[in-house]
Amino acid sequence: MSKPTNISMQEVWQQDRDHYIHPWTDFSTFKETGSMVLADSDNVHVVDGDGNRYLDGIGGLWCVNIGYGREEMAQAIAEQVRQIPYYSCFGHHTTVPAAKLAAKLAELAPGNLNHVFYGCGGSVANDTAVRIIHFYFNQLGQKSKKKIISRIDGYHGSTYMAMSITGVKFDHIGFDIEEQLVHHISCPNPYRRPAGQSLEDFCNEKVQELEDKILELGPAKVAAFFAEPIMGAGGVIVPPEGYHQKILAVCRKYGVLYVSDEVVTAFGRLGHMFASEAEFGIVPDIITCAKGLTSGYLPLGATILSDEIYEVISKPQADGAIFTHGFTYSGHPVSCAAGLKNIEIMEREQLCDQVRDMGAYFEAQLKTLLDLPIVGDVRGRKFMMCIENVADKETKALIDPKARVGNRIADHCQARGLIVRPLAHMNVLSPPLTLTKEHIDFMIATLRESIEATVQELR
């Protein structure tokens, strides 16, 4: 990463380095290198302050699903700003886009998930789910049902509660988390299962672990299980066949609510508006979503509840409680207008069908990289993929973290006009859904060259 050569961008670079506290940043390297300033964009490409163009292989942060530079998104947003840019939805006020988008989400979500609460992103959607679940069980008179079970390597966000539910241990280093309410079970990563174990046995073992954990904590104390259909930030872990269905059955057996965190997987990344039912055959009790809901054009998240949960939380409460949960920007009309336009574009351009076609090609082409000496695993589905780099393909031993292999590959890609995300020793790919065959071919060729260059460096 280098300082822009262009004078006005150099000023931006300096202001940013001196005053902007970046999220998720290693400040030791940040203070040296500052940021790459992104100044322009179009479809699957972004452009830096010096005019260099990059194919954005990560869709911003798994979110720019319809691609950059959509004029009709700009118009829909501007129109809403002109009409009514804000009104509070507390109590009995609403706006047209907030109501229309809620109805649209109810139509798209599986089963009887018909009730939508809005926040500004994925973390808040998950925090909201916890508050609602606690309120729900309180109203049912099951006040001891409070505990949440989630998985090692699951990622659920960065608010205090969402980060506590997150199971990526690296993310907890140096911070505190809530340890009374949240409990983790292990990650269903087929690549790292014990040698010789069948996928079915591995799956059953993970499901049994959930049941054991519920029994250990006491079913009367366990309120909910949180899971992403495919773990994203934990390394794009696709669980073994049947895993989510078996897990849901255990949850049902013990009256534990199943929260499907679809912050990444919803809105087309796996070729469906929601992946829980269409890809994994489950109808959860709650779905949380964000990111692709507006394709990142404006901040918006949603917590979508089943009829049963809504029925309980919306009844007059014996103790006089009302639903005291909400944010100034819940149901922000401009964000909701962006969400409606985004879904309209996705439907009109049949982007889910496009992902199902192109995603199969993308997966197949990425798997050709498995012939490279450090590529141990290529996994994921459709437009949510990951390359795991290892020191030894037989033993799956990791490359020394000091080698920063994921960063090296990402840097080589960037120098060749492709942005991919380093995730420890892995590289993650989550491109805009408008990706064509030519874009995919460029990505694969660039990744191959970059991994080969990295192998040379590590020799």
Q: In the complex, which residues of this chain contact ligand PLP (CB under 6 A)?
A: 121-123, 126, 155-158, 228, 232-233, 261, 263-264, 290
Least distance (Å) between residue 92 CB and ligand PLP = 28
3-state secondary structure of 37: coil
CA dihedral sign of residues 43, 48, 49, 52: negative
d(CA 148, CA 164): 10
Which residue, 121 or 167, is less far from ligand PLP as judged by CB? 121
Which residue lies nearer to ligand PLP by CB, 97 or 229? Answer: 229
Measured CA distances, 137 to 59, 132, 229 (Å): 38, 9, 25
Distance between CA atoms of residues 214 and 225, nearest Å: 10
Say how far apart CA 252 and CA 230 lie, in whole Å: 21
CA distances from 423 to 186, 234, 390 (A): 19, 8, 13
Complex with ligand PLP: residue 123 or 164, whichever CB lies closer: 123
**Alpha-helical regions (H) of 218-288:** 243-253, 275-280
Cβ distance to ligand PLP smaller for residue 150 or 446: 150
CB nearer to ligand PLP: give 227 or 343: 227
Minimum distance of ligand PLP from residue 360's CB (angstroms):
23
Q: Which of residues 237 and 399 has its CB atom nearest to ligand PLP in the complex? A: 237
Nearest distance from residue 61's CB to ligand PLP, in Å? 6
CA–CA separation, 229 vs 221, rounded Å? Answer: 24
CB of 436 to ligand PLP, least distance (A): 25
For residue 225, give the 3-state DSSP assignment. strand
In the complex, minimum distance from the CB of residue 392 to ligand PLP, in angstroms, rounded to a whole number: 30
**Residue of minimal CB distance from ligand PLP?**
122
Largest CA distance in the chain: 70
CB of 293 to ligand PLP, least distance (A): 10
